[in-house]
């Protein structure tokens, strides 16, 4: 079946069986391989993408349910030759990346979280990241990155003004 998706601002079609996950469609049909499929069962967050104003585990979401809202993947946060998004900058600066398997999902969760909470404390960041597992960093550097990104984003965050 053919499904129309809006991914990173671009309308595109994928021709896949109805049970295909969004993660599979993104990676294998649209060649957007930022979202990783690790557990494949909704437990690790490595496949996290943004659907409208919320994050989803793209390994669990049938592509048919992703047609009605814009999808943002980690590839959509910055142009290949442009500056990184502040969340990405902060992950680099704070050494929030080791093997990198969790990183796109972490970035997408933080990107979405910081749209609604412009100046979080560490506890709020940790709570926001409960669905994203990291086996390498111990999380401290990722929390530091989130707080650094929050400080770098405009205050009040203009995205909070969105309807
Ligand atoms: S791969 Fe989707 S939650 Fe783990
Ligand atoms: S950096 Fe390796 S799993 Fe998070």
> pLDDT tens digits for 102-120?
999 999 999 999 999 989 9
* pLDDT for the residue numbered 120: 97
Query: Is residue 74 a contact partner of residue 31, using CB atoms and an 8 Å limit?
Result: no
Q: Which residues contact 73 (CB under 8 A, 6 or more apart)?
A: 7, 8, 26, 32, 34, 35, 49, 50, 104, 108
**CATH tag for 2-75 (out of 3.30.365.10, 3.30.870.10, 3.10.20.30, 3.40.50.720):** 3.10.20.30
Q: Measured from the CA of 97, which atom of ligand 2 is nearest?
A: 1
* pLDDT for the residue numbered 80: 83
* pLDDT for the residue numbered 26: 98
CB of 98 shorter than 6 A to ligand 2: yes
Residues of the chain with CATH 1.10.150.120: 86-161
Residues of the chain with CATH 3.10.20.30: 2-75
Query: Is residue 144 a contact partner of residue 94, using CB atoms and an 8 Å limit?
Result: yes
Residue 29 CB neighbour total at 10 angstroms: 17
Q: Which of 136, 138, 143, 144 to mutate to test the pocket of ligand 2 (most atoms within 8 A of CB)?
A: 136
* pLDDT for the residue numbered 113: 98
Residue 132 CB neighbour total at 10 angstroms: 21
Counting ligands in written order, which one lies closest to the CA of residue 100? 2
Q: Which residues contact 43 (CB under 8 A, 6 or more apart)?
A: 133
Q: Which residues contact 6 (CB under 8 A, 6 or more apart)?
A: 12, 69, 70, 71
Residue 56 CB neighbour total at 10 angstroms: 22
Q: Measured from the CA of 99, which atom of ligand 2 is nearest?
A: 2
Q: What distance in angstroms lies between residue 147's CA and the mean position of ligand 1's atoms? A: 25
* pLDDT for the residue numbered 163: 39
Opening angle at CA 21, ends 15 and 22, nearest 5: 80
In the predicted model, residues of the chain with pLDDT beneath 50 are 157, 160-163
Query: Is residue 124 a contact partner of residue 117, using CB atoms and an 8 Å limit?
Result: yes
* pLDDT for the residue numbered 36: 98
User: Phi, psi (5° rounding) for residue 149?
Assistant: -65, -40
CATH number of 86-161: 1.10.150.120
Tell the residue number behind the tokens 């709020």, with chain if given.
124
């Amino acid at each position: 079946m053919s499904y129309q998706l809006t991914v990173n601002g671009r309308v595109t079609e994928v021709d896949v069986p109805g049970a295909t996950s969004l993660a599979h469609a993104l990676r294998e049909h649209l060649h957007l391989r930022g979202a990783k499929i690790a557990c494949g069962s909704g437990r690790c967050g490595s496949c996290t993408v943004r659907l409208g104003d919320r994050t989803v585990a793209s390994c669990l979401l049938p592509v048919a349910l992703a047609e009605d809202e814009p999808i943002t993947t980690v590839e959509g946060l910055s142009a290949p030759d442009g500056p990184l998004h502040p969340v990405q900058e902060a992950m680099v600066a704070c050494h929030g990346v080791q093997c990198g398997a969790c990183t796109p999902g972490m970035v997408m969760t933080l990107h979405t979280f910081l749209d609604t909470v412009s100046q979080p404390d560490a506890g709020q960041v940790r709570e926001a990241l409960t669905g994203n597992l990291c086996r390498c960093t111990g999380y401290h550097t990722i929390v530091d990155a989130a707080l650094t990104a929050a400080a770098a984003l405009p205050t009040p965050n203009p995205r909070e003004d969105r309807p």
